[in-house]
Amino acid sequence: MFVAIYRWRLHSGLEQDFIANWQRITDFGLAAGSGGSSLFRDSDGCWVAIARWPSIDARDQFFEQYRREHADPALQEAATRAIADSFPAQELQSVIDAWAPIGPLIDDAKP
């Protein structure tokens, strides 16, 4: 498995444009065989995304096809405008893959 970790600082008030674009890409990626992604906001206000793919080649091929066939230029432009700072991506090759779906927390469970 291949994992990419991305980090950005976003302009205040434009976060929803960025989130909408990230969700669109993730939805198409899931349909194309990705392992999905998660988008987080850290305590310093940075946005962090973790995306999982079978391989770096699978990710690269997906993005080539996505840009040709599925990208929404207006949404992409709005998401790009939302980015104040972009940090270098971390690209990781899996050594142990023990991720599992997480169910509801005990405090969140309804009796």
Domain ranges of the chain: 2-93
Quick check: 47 and 8 in contact, CB under 8 A?
A: yes
Give pLDDT, residue 78: 97
**pTM of structure:** 0.85
> CA-to-CA distance for 66 and 2, rounded, in angstroms?
19
Give pLDDT, residue 100: 85
Give pLDDT, residue 101: 79
pLDDT range class, residue 99, cuts 50, 70, 90? confident
pLDDT range class, residue 52, cuts 50, 70, 90? very high
Is the pLDDT at 62 greater than 90, yes or no? yes
Is the pLDDT at 14 greater than 70, yes or no? yes
What does the DSSP assignment read for 16-61?
HHHHHHHHHHHHHHHHTT--EEEEEE-TTS-EEEEEEES-HHHHHH
Mean pLDDT of 30-46: 95
Quick check: 78 and 14 in contact, CB under 8 A?
A: yes
CATH class of the structural domain 2-93 = alpha beta
DSSP helix, strand, coil percent of the chain (3-state; round to 5): 40, 30, 30
